[in-house]
Amino acid sequence: MAVEGLTFRRATPADTERIAEIMHGEPLGELVGLFGGSRELTTTFGKEFVRMPGSPQRWQGTVIAELAGEAVGILQAGSGSASFRLSPRYVLLAIRVFGLVNAVKLLPRVRARARLNMSPPPSAYKVHELHVDPRYRNRGVGGHMLEYAEEDARRLGHRHMSLTTTTANPARHLYERHGFRIVETRTDPAFERYTGIAGRHLMVKELA
């Protein structure tokens, strides 16, 4: 589907709030479940996480998709790792947002999510985050962002692209239409109890 006038650019510090809003303004059900069921607190934590210096979701490394000068999607992808590692400042953020008692209760939930981590092919170009403003979904923006990522991957000489998604995410069909296939699935009873989602898929696309 063509998206008339869609353009891409590298993010700047001035995009931080828009990145936070697109990624966490309507928090994913997976995150709401992992963070104890409060959509409001999940949104607060997510936005603060984007704003935090050194966060894997910060503006550095982010590509903005724009329509008529408005950011409508964000892409975070590349060769490097954007894996989350628990650090004292992230713990302090969790305590500030959720309170000490509830922050401690998050630990088994974080462990359940960590059990679903899967390893992509060596040196794969990884799509870490791809989000579209809810008002612009189902208009082809996500597909164009995947095409942008593939062009970048080919330019950098990668032979594979990879991403992970939940087993319940309908966007899986978008990824499949763009050549990604499921190569591994992990499930976890505790994760499903917290989120209502069985697990996650690792999806890979081979670049000819």
DSSP assignment of 131-149:
EE-GGGTTTTHHHHHHHHH
Taking the C-alpha atoms of residue 71 and residue 11, their distance in angstroms, rounded to an integer, is 10
Residue 38 lies in a domain: yes
Q: What is the mean pLDDT of residues 133-151?
A: 95
Which residue segment(s) compose the domain that 53 sits in? 7-206
pTM of the full structure: 0.92
For residue 174, count CB atoms less than 10 angstroms from its CB and return exposed for 0-12, middle for 13-18, buried for 19 or more.
middle
Residue 173 lies in a domain: yes
Residue 1 lies in a domain: no
What is the reported pLDDT for 166? 97
Q: What percent of the chain stands above pLDDT 70?
A: 96
Residue 111 lies in a domain: yes
Q: What is the mean pLDDT of residues 78-83?
A: 70
SS3 201: strand
Residue 2 lies in a domain: no
What is the reported pLDDT for 135? 93
Residue 24 lies in a domain: yes
The tens digit of pLDDT for each residue in 1-57 reads 567 899 999 999 999 999 999 999 999 899 999 999 999 999 999 999 999 988 989
Check which CATH number belongs to the domain holding 57 and give it.
3.40.630.30
- Per the structure, the count of domains in the chain is 1
Four-residue CA torsion sign, 154, 205, 146, 61: negative
**Strands of 199-206's sheet, edge to edge?**
7-10, 62-67, 70-78, 125-132, 160-166, 199-206, 181-187
Residue 201 lies in a domain: yes
Which residues does 43 contact at the CB level (< 8 Å), separation at least 6? 24, 25, 26, 27
The tens digit of pLDDT for each residue in 32-48 reads 999 999 999 999 999 99
Residue 198 lies in a domain: yes
